Amino acid sequence: MSTRTRSPLPVRAEVRRQLQRRRTLVSFGLLLALPLILVGAFALGDGSGEDDPAPSFVDLAQVGAANFTVFTLFASTGFLLVVLVALFAGDAVPAEASWSSLRYLLTTPVPRVRLLTVKLAVALLTTLAALVTLPAWCLAVGAVAYGTDPYRGPTGEQLAWGDFALRLLVIVGYLAVSLLFVAALAFLVGTVTDAPLAAVGSAVLVTIVSSILDTIEPLGAVREALPTHEQFAWADALQREVAWAGMADGALWALLWSTLLLTAAYVVFARKDVLS
Protein backbone atom coordinates (compact mmCIF):
# COMPACT_ATOMS: atom_id res chain seq x y z
CA MET A 1 0.00 0.00 0.00
CA SER A 2 1.58 3.27 -1.10
CA THR A 3 1.26 6.48 0.80
CA ARG A 4 1.60 9.95 -0.65
CA THR A 5 4.17 12.15 0.97
CA ARG A 6 2.68 15.49 1.78
CA SER A 7 4.81 18.49 0.83
CA PRO A 8 5.74 20.72 3.74
CA LEU A 9 4.23 24.21 3.59
CA PRO A 10 2.08 23.72 0.46
CA VAL A 11 1.59 26.78 -1.75
CA ARG A 12 -2.19 26.44 -1.50
CA ALA A 13 -2.06 26.76 2.28
CA GLU A 14 0.14 29.84 2.08
CA VAL A 15 -2.17 31.43 -0.49
CA ARG A 16 -5.10 30.83 1.84
CA ARG A 17 -3.24 32.46 4.73
CA GLN A 18 -2.28 35.39 2.54
CA LEU A 19 -5.87 36.03 1.50
CA GLN A 20 -7.04 35.90 5.12
CA ARG A 21 -4.54 38.45 6.40
CA ARG A 22 -5.96 41.82 7.30
CA ARG A 23 -3.25 43.77 5.50
CA THR A 24 -4.05 41.92 2.26
CA LEU A 25 -7.73 42.72 2.57
CA VAL A 26 -6.99 46.36 3.42
CA SER A 27 -4.56 46.65 0.48
CA PHE A 28 -7.07 45.36 -2.05
CA GLY A 29 -9.77 47.49 -0.43
CA LEU A 30 -7.57 50.53 -1.04
CA LEU A 31 -7.07 49.53 -4.68
CA LEU A 32 -10.83 49.26 -5.14
CA ALA A 33 -11.45 52.57 -3.39
CA LEU A 34 -8.82 54.56 -5.34
CA PRO A 35 -10.72 54.90 -8.65
CA LEU A 36 -13.87 55.89 -6.78
CA ILE A 37 -11.93 58.55 -4.87
CA LEU A 38 -10.45 59.87 -8.11
CA VAL A 39 -13.87 60.09 -9.76
CA GLY A 40 -15.12 62.03 -6.73
CA ALA A 41 -12.11 64.34 -6.89
CA PHE A 42 -12.69 65.06 -10.58
CA ALA A 43 -16.37 65.74 -9.85
CA LEU A 44 -15.33 68.39 -7.34
CA GLY A 45 -12.90 69.97 -9.81
CA ASP A 46 -13.51 72.72 -12.33
CA GLY A 47 -13.68 70.59 -15.46
CA SER A 48 -11.32 68.80 -17.81
CA GLY A 49 -8.24 70.30 -19.41
CA GLU A 50 -8.50 68.19 -22.56
CA ASP A 51 -8.69 71.33 -24.72
CA ASP A 52 -5.26 72.51 -23.52
CA PRO A 53 -2.67 72.73 -26.32
CA ALA A 54 -0.42 70.26 -24.47
CA PRO A 55 -2.70 68.11 -22.30
CA SER A 56 -1.30 65.62 -19.79
CA PHE A 57 -2.61 62.29 -18.55
CA VAL A 58 -4.57 64.06 -15.82
CA ASP A 59 -6.10 66.51 -18.31
CA LEU A 60 -7.37 63.61 -20.42
CA ALA A 61 -8.43 61.38 -17.53
CA GLN A 62 -12.13 62.09 -18.07
CA VAL A 63 -12.15 61.36 -21.81
CA GLY A 64 -13.19 57.77 -21.22
CA ALA A 65 -12.50 54.58 -19.32
CA ALA A 66 -9.22 53.94 -21.14
CA ASN A 67 -7.79 57.35 -20.33
CA PHE A 68 -9.01 57.12 -16.75
CA THR A 69 -7.23 53.79 -16.35
CA VAL A 70 -3.98 55.18 -17.76
CA PHE A 71 -4.12 58.19 -15.44
CA THR A 72 -4.74 55.99 -12.39
CA LEU A 73 -1.74 53.81 -13.26
CA PHE A 74 0.36 56.93 -13.82
CA ALA A 75 -0.66 58.31 -10.43
CA SER A 76 -0.04 54.98 -8.68
CA THR A 77 3.28 53.90 -10.17
CA GLY A 78 5.65 56.10 -8.19
CA PHE A 79 4.35 55.42 -4.68
CA LEU A 80 1.14 53.43 -4.11
CA LEU A 81 2.19 50.37 -6.08
CA VAL A 82 5.65 50.54 -4.51
CA VAL A 83 4.15 50.49 -1.02
CA LEU A 84 1.82 47.59 -1.83
CA VAL A 85 4.55 45.47 -3.40
CA ALA A 86 6.89 46.20 -0.47
CA LEU A 87 4.10 45.22 1.92
CA PHE A 88 3.33 41.91 0.23
CA ALA A 89 7.00 40.88 -0.05
CA GLY A 90 8.46 42.52 3.04
CA ASP A 91 5.89 41.12 5.43
CA ALA A 92 6.17 37.53 4.23
CA VAL A 93 8.97 36.25 6.48
CA PRO A 94 8.95 38.77 9.38
CA ALA A 95 5.24 38.13 9.95
CA GLU A 96 6.04 34.54 10.89
CA ALA A 97 8.79 35.71 13.24
CA SER A 98 6.53 38.29 14.87
CA TRP A 99 3.97 35.54 15.50
CA SER A 100 6.78 33.32 16.93
CA SER A 101 5.87 30.68 14.37
CA LEU A 102 8.91 30.85 12.07
CA ARG A 103 11.06 28.43 14.07
CA TYR A 104 8.16 26.00 14.31
CA LEU A 105 7.74 26.03 10.54
CA LEU A 106 11.43 25.22 10.16
CA THR A 107 11.18 22.29 12.57
CA THR A 108 8.07 20.77 10.91
CA PRO A 109 10.41 20.26 9.02
CA VAL A 110 10.18 22.83 6.24
CA PRO A 111 13.49 23.31 4.41
CA ARG A 112 14.62 26.92 4.45
CA VAL A 113 14.86 27.13 0.68
CA ARG A 114 11.30 25.85 0.30
CA LEU A 115 9.99 28.22 2.96
CA LEU A 116 11.53 31.22 1.20
CA THR A 117 10.45 30.03 -2.23
CA VAL A 118 6.83 29.53 -1.18
CA LYS A 119 6.71 32.86 0.64
CA LEU A 120 8.24 34.67 -2.34
CA ALA A 121 5.99 32.94 -4.87
CA VAL A 122 2.84 33.85 -2.96
CA ALA A 123 4.03 37.44 -2.49
CA LEU A 124 4.65 37.76 -6.23
CA LEU A 125 1.29 36.18 -7.06
CA THR A 126 -0.43 38.65 -4.74
CA THR A 127 1.44 41.49 -6.42
CA LEU A 128 0.37 40.29 -9.86
CA ALA A 129 -3.22 40.01 -8.67
CA ALA A 130 -3.08 43.62 -7.47
CA LEU A 131 -1.59 44.80 -10.77
CA VAL A 132 -4.42 43.10 -12.67
CA THR A 133 -7.16 44.19 -10.29
CA LEU A 134 -6.35 47.90 -10.42
CA PRO A 135 -6.66 48.49 -14.20
CA ALA A 136 -9.58 46.07 -14.53
CA TRP A 137 -11.53 47.89 -11.83
CA CYS A 138 -10.51 51.28 -13.27
CA LEU A 139 -11.93 50.28 -16.65
CA ALA A 140 -15.25 49.34 -15.03
CA VAL A 141 -15.46 52.51 -12.94
CA GLY A 142 -14.28 54.70 -15.81
CA ALA A 143 -16.84 53.22 -18.20
CA VAL A 144 -19.66 54.10 -15.81
CA ALA A 145 -18.32 57.57 -15.00
CA TYR A 146 -16.90 58.72 -18.34
CA GLY A 147 -18.05 56.37 -21.07
CA THR A 148 -16.17 54.05 -23.39
CA ASP A 149 -14.50 56.37 -25.89
CA PRO A 150 -11.21 55.04 -27.32
CA TYR A 151 -7.92 56.00 -25.71
CA ARG A 152 -6.56 59.41 -26.71
CA GLY A 153 -2.97 60.32 -25.92
CA PRO A 154 -1.48 63.71 -25.00
CA THR A 155 -0.08 64.13 -28.52
CA GLY A 156 -3.36 63.30 -30.22
CA GLU A 157 -2.81 59.62 -31.02
CA GLN A 158 -5.79 57.33 -30.64
CA LEU A 159 -5.96 53.61 -29.97
CA ALA A 160 -8.96 51.42 -30.71
CA TRP A 161 -10.12 49.25 -27.85
CA GLY A 162 -8.54 46.12 -29.29
CA ASP A 163 -5.13 47.80 -29.58
CA PHE A 164 -5.50 49.43 -26.19
CA ALA A 165 -6.28 46.09 -24.51
CA LEU A 166 -3.05 44.61 -25.88
CA ARG A 167 -1.06 47.68 -24.83
CA LEU A 168 -2.58 47.46 -21.35
CA LEU A 169 -1.35 43.87 -21.06
CA VAL A 170 2.13 45.10 -21.97
CA ILE A 171 1.89 47.84 -19.33
CA VAL A 172 0.83 45.42 -16.59
CA GLY A 173 3.59 43.02 -17.59
CA TYR A 174 6.20 45.77 -17.52
CA LEU A 175 5.03 47.03 -14.13
CA ALA A 176 5.22 43.49 -12.76
CA VAL A 177 8.84 43.20 -13.92
CA SER A 178 9.96 46.69 -12.93
CA LEU A 179 8.52 46.29 -9.42
CA LEU A 180 10.48 43.09 -8.88
CA PHE A 181 13.28 45.26 -7.48
CA VAL A 182 10.99 46.56 -4.74
CA ALA A 183 9.76 43.06 -3.93
CA ALA A 184 13.29 41.64 -3.85
CA LEU A 185 14.64 44.38 -1.62
CA ALA A 186 11.75 44.12 0.84
CA PHE A 187 12.11 40.34 0.85
CA LEU A 188 15.85 40.57 1.54
CA VAL A 189 15.40 42.95 4.46
CA GLY A 190 12.61 40.68 5.72
CA THR A 191 15.09 37.82 6.03
CA VAL A 192 17.36 40.00 8.17
CA THR A 193 14.85 41.57 10.54
CA ASP A 194 11.86 40.29 12.49
CA ALA A 195 10.06 43.64 12.10
CA PRO A 196 7.72 43.74 9.06
CA LEU A 197 7.62 47.54 9.16
CA ALA A 198 11.40 47.70 8.82
CA ALA A 199 11.34 45.54 5.69
CA VAL A 200 8.51 47.48 4.08
CA GLY A 201 9.89 50.88 5.07
CA SER A 202 13.41 50.10 3.86
CA ALA A 203 12.20 49.12 0.40
CA VAL A 204 9.99 52.19 0.10
CA LEU A 205 12.74 54.51 1.35
CA VAL A 206 15.36 53.12 -1.04
CA THR A 207 12.93 53.45 -3.94
CA ILE A 208 12.22 57.07 -3.04
CA VAL A 209 15.94 57.84 -2.76
CA SER A 210 16.52 56.20 -6.14
CA SER A 211 13.81 58.38 -7.66
CA ILE A 212 15.41 61.49 -6.17
CA LEU A 213 18.85 60.53 -7.47
CA ASP A 214 17.35 59.97 -10.90
CA THR A 215 16.50 63.68 -11.08
CA ILE A 216 20.18 64.67 -10.71
CA GLU A 217 21.35 65.01 -14.30
CA PRO A 218 25.09 65.41 -13.46
CA LEU A 219 25.08 61.72 -12.52
CA GLY A 220 24.98 61.04 -16.23
CA ALA A 221 24.98 57.39 -17.28
CA VAL A 222 24.93 56.28 -13.64
CA ARG A 223 21.23 57.17 -13.57
CA GLU A 224 20.50 54.45 -16.11
CA ALA A 225 21.47 51.81 -13.55
CA LEU A 226 19.05 53.14 -10.95
CA PRO A 227 16.11 50.77 -10.46
CA THR A 228 13.60 53.60 -10.85
CA HIS A 229 15.13 55.24 -13.92
CA GLU A 230 12.60 53.68 -16.29
CA GLN A 231 9.68 53.26 -13.90
CA PHE A 232 7.37 55.22 -16.22
CA ALA A 233 8.69 53.68 -19.44
CA TRP A 234 5.39 51.78 -19.75
CA ALA A 235 3.92 54.98 -21.21
CA ASP A 236 5.91 54.20 -24.39
CA ALA A 237 3.48 51.33 -24.98
CA LEU A 238 0.73 53.88 -25.65
CA GLN A 239 2.38 55.50 -28.66
CA ARG A 240 1.20 54.74 -32.19
CA GLU A 241 4.18 52.44 -32.52
CA VAL A 242 5.36 50.88 -29.27
CA ALA A 243 8.82 52.12 -28.27
CA TRP A 244 10.47 49.12 -26.64
CA ALA A 245 13.91 50.54 -25.82
CA GLY A 246 13.04 52.17 -22.49
CA MET A 247 11.00 49.22 -21.28
CA ALA A 248 13.72 46.78 -22.32
CA ASP A 249 16.36 48.73 -20.38
CA GLY A 250 14.12 49.05 -17.35
CA ALA A 251 13.22 45.36 -17.38
CA LEU A 252 16.84 44.26 -17.70
CA TRP A 253 18.01 46.43 -14.80
CA ALA A 254 15.04 45.33 -12.67
CA LEU A 255 15.84 41.67 -13.34
CA LEU A 256 19.51 42.23 -12.56
CA TRP A 257 18.86 44.03 -9.28
CA SER A 258 16.18 41.57 -8.19
CA THR A 259 18.38 38.56 -8.99
CA LEU A 260 21.22 39.96 -6.87
CA LEU A 261 18.91 40.86 -3.99
CA LEU A 262 17.03 37.56 -3.97
CA THR A 263 20.28 35.60 -4.11
CA ALA A 264 21.46 37.57 -1.09
CA ALA A 265 18.16 36.83 0.68
CA TYR A 266 18.59 33.07 0.27
CA VAL A 267 22.23 33.22 1.39
CA VAL A 268 21.45 35.33 4.45
CA PHE A 269 18.47 33.24 5.52
CA ALA A 270 20.40 29.99 5.10
CA ARG A 271 22.95 31.22 7.65
CA LYS A 272 20.56 32.95 10.01
CA ASP A 273 19.89 31.75 13.55
CA VAL A 274 16.08 31.63 13.76
CA LEU A 275 14.98 32.25 17.33
CA SER A 276 11.42 33.56 16.80
In a domain, 83, yes or no: yes
In a domain, 5, yes or no: no
The helix (H) or strand (E) run that includes residue 205 is helix 196-214
DSSP 51: T
Q: Which positions ≥6 away from 142 have C-beta within 8 Å?
A: 35, 64, 65, 66, 67, 68, 69
Count of domains for the chain: 1
In a domain, 275, yes or no: no
In a domain, 3, yes or no: no
| Amino acid identity, position 15 | V
Distance in angstroms (rounded) separating the CA atoms of residues 175 and 178: 5
Distance in angstroms (rounded) separating the CA atoms of residues 17 and 142: 32
Query: Is residue 240 within 8 Å of residue 158, measured between CB atoms?
Result: no
In a domain, 126, yes or no: yes
- Within 132-255, strands assigned E span 151-152, 158-159
In a domain, 103, yes or no: yes
Q: Which positions ≥6 away from 204 have C-beta within 8 Å?
A: 82, 83, 86, 182
In Å, how far are 76, 120, 148, 158 from 50, measured between CA atoms? Answer: 21, 43, 16, 14
Per-residue pLDDT of the chain (276 residues; tens, 9 = 90+): 344 445 556 778 778 888 888 889 999 999 999 999 999 999 987 665 566 666 788 989 999 999 999 999 999 999 999 999 999 999 888 876 555 555 545 555 557 788 889 889 999 999 999 999 999 999 999 999 999 999 999 888 899 999 999 999 999 999 999 999 999 999 999 988 888 899 999 999 999 999 999 999 999 989 999 999 999 999 999 999 999 999 999 999 999 999 999 999 999 888 776 554
In a domain, 6, yes or no: no
Note the pLDDT of residue 93.
83
Q: Which positions ≥6 away from 192 have C-beta within 8 Å?
A: 268, 272
In a domain, 44, yes or no: no
Domain that holds residue 109: 11-38+52-270
Distance in angstroms (rounded) separating the CA atoms of residues 211 and 248: 19
Comparing C-alpha atoms, which of 190, 205, 212, 175 is closest to residue 92?
190
